[in-house]
Amino acid sequence: MKALWIAICLLAMPAWADGIEPLSGWAVYPSDKNYENLVEDTKAAVKNNGLIVVTQAGPTKAAASRGITIPGNRVIGAFNNDFAVRVLETSTNAMIEAPIRFYVTENKDGTATLSYKTPSFVFAPYADEGGQALREISAELDTKFQAVAESAVK
């Protein structure tokens, strides 16, 4: 387990330095905005697209308080109660994935990147349990998350 964690950390390090590399199931939106602006614009776009910022976390400020400088790094969880109730109607297990997260990372050149795992990818393991209704919810969320990302990076 320790070796797996070390491997994951080593794989993540280049992403901090050079932006996010597209992975299967991910949507990646490079921007010309700086980190702070992209964080704020992402939160505003979440609200403007009918979702709610449910959670936020990132190591950047805590590291700075310890005298460690790392690139900007923020996870923003977004969802809303309507989607929560609808997902629960299809699969109690699938709700472990909510809120679905946006990931804002600072690049070496001062710009920032917005990325996220697509909702359909996140909910795919629950498709057998949730059926067509969960696939339809996932597709709706895919559209909303895309709209958030496109709005935030422009």
> Edge-to-edge strand order for the sheet containing 26-30?
26-30, 112-117, 100-106, 73-79, 52-57
- Of all residues in the chain, what percent are helix, strand and coil, respectively (each to 5)? 55, 20, 25
Largest Cα span, the chain: 50
- pLDDT single digits (tens) 50-71: 999 999 999 999 999 999 999 9
Give the pLDDT band of residue 22 (cuts 50, 70, 90): confident
- pLDDT over 60 at 46, yes or no: yes
For residue 19, what pLDDT is reported?
65
pTM of the model: 0.85
Give the pLDDT band of residue 8 (cuts 50, 70, 90): very low
Percent of the chain scoring above 90 in pLDDT: 84
